[in-house]
Amino acid sequence: MSSIMRAVTVKPPGGLADLAIGTIPRPSPRADQLLVKVAFAGLNRADTLQRSGAYPPPADAPATMGLEVSGEVVEIGAEAQGKGFKVGDNVCGLVGGGGYAEYCAINIGNVLQIPRGFSLEQAAAIPEVFMTAYQALIHISQLKKGEDALIHAGASGVGTAAIQLAKSWGARRIIVTAGTDAKCAFTKSLGATHAINYKTTDWKSEVLAITEKRGVDVIIDFVAGSYFNSNLEALAVDGRMTILALLGGPVVEKATIGHFLRKRLRVEGSTLRSRSKEYQAQLAELIRRDCIPKFESGELRPVIDTVYAFEDIAKGHQHLEEDKSLGKVLLRL
């Protein structure tokens, strides 16, 4: 194989017009990695933030964007031998970066098998959103059967995964917020029992009305700042909230933290990319155990909005930034 490959190049901070296909050295897998010939890469908001300079990649990650891929195994590191995968296998998985390229190295602990009957395109839409949603809803917030959940940004990639996981784990009410009536209708088709258009409705009052003033047991939040107090009010006694992003800013004017004590609330911030290799591998193991069988039975499904050709990466980023997508946006290599 050639020692160079095609990849999306951009030097942050960059705009859409700076997204170009260039060539960079082909990565060699570390001893504990597989090298994958990328078929599809998932696009994530973290990528657009990285491009614009707002989210520098971790020091040990490739500078190229892209946090998840599907493709064919072409090389196996020494320590990754005999761990269930061979050259020629189709796989998908979470990567620390470098997904927008012809070849990408994946830590062996992060590699997921392709669910039976799934295409590489479908498989590329699984890792980031299902690992993030599973981590937030099940692993951290510990949603239990019969509980009520509030999932903000319900039509986002993570939102669509969280709705399905909540349904599959036996949530009673699955309340979703989204920014258009079309998104609201879409989330209901995935299993949301109530969808609130936050642009036309006071979602907090609506959540309290739906739950007969009790509040919800679990919240998955991406907004933080401007939603924080309303989220605390919308939580029930013993409620748990996982914050996954700061889209509403990192500061709350007059935070009403008395709720923490009065309702025994738990709030946790979490990200996936910054976690240790061991943590990510443990989470991938839970996905293999708890989710892959449900993909194969049809109980869970990745939701794909649009697939862009490699050369159309700028259109893909624009699509994400316009906040109109219903589910995942992918890149076909």
Q: What residue ranges bind its own copies (CB under 8 A)?
A: 224-225, 228, 243-246, 249-271, 274
CA pair distance 305, 52, nearest whole angstrom: 23
Q: Closer to its own copies by CB, 3 or 276: give it.
A: 276
Query: Between 271 and 297, whose beta carbon lies closer to its own copies?
Result: 271
CB of 249 to its own copies, least distance (A): 8
Q: Which is nearer to its own copies, 116 or 264 (CB)?
A: 264
Q: What is the CA radius of gyration of the chain?
A: 20
Minimum CB distance to its own copies, residue 264 (Å)? 5
Closest among 260, 163, 173, 162 to 208, alpha carbons compared: 173
Q: Establish whether the linkage from the previous residue to 115 is cis, with ω within 30° of 0.
A: no
29-60 per-residue burial string, b: 16 or more CB within 10 A, e: under 16: beebbbbbbbbbbbbbbbbbbbbbeeeebeee
Which two three-digit tokens encode residue 284? 């991938």
Give the C-alpha separation, 116 to 294, whole Å.
11
| Antiparallel, parallel or unpaired: β 194-197 and 174-178 | parallel
Sign of CA dihedral 205, 211, 217, 219: negative
Q: Which is nearer to its own copies, 279 or 290 (CB)?
A: 279
Quick one: which of 291, 138, 144, 155 has its CA closest to 222?
A: 155
Among residues 135 and 164, whose Cβ is nearest to its own copies? 135
**Least distance (Å) between residue 68 CB and its own copies:** 20
Instruction: Select 117 or 258, whichever has its Cβ closest to its own copies.
Output: 258
Nearer to its own copies, 145 or 254 (CB): 254
Distance CA 45, CA 129 (A): 11
Distance CA 21, CA 330 (A): 16
Write down the least CB distance from residue 2 to its own copies, Å.
Answer: 40
How would you classify the pairing of strands 328-332 and 33-42? antiparallel
Task: Give the shortest CB-263-to-its own copies separation in angstroms.
Answer: 7
Residue 134: how many CA atoms within 13 Å on its side-chain side?
Answer: 21
Taking the complex as a whole, the smallest distance from the CB of residue 67 to its own copies amounts, in Å, to 17
Report, in Å, the least distance between residue 256 CB and its own copies. 6
Residue 80, token pair as written in the block: 């990754």
- Least Å distance, CB 226 to its own copies, is 11
Which residues sit opposite 332 in a β-bridge?
40, 309
Rounded to the nearest whole angstrom, what is the least distance from the CB of residue 244 to its own copies in the complex? 8
Query: Cβ closer to its own copies: 33 or 141?
Result: 141
The dihedral through the CA atoms of 290, 292, 296, 301 has a sign that is positive
Closest CA to 159 of 333, 303, 4, 332: 303
Q: Which is nearer to its own copies, 63 or 257 (CB)?
A: 257
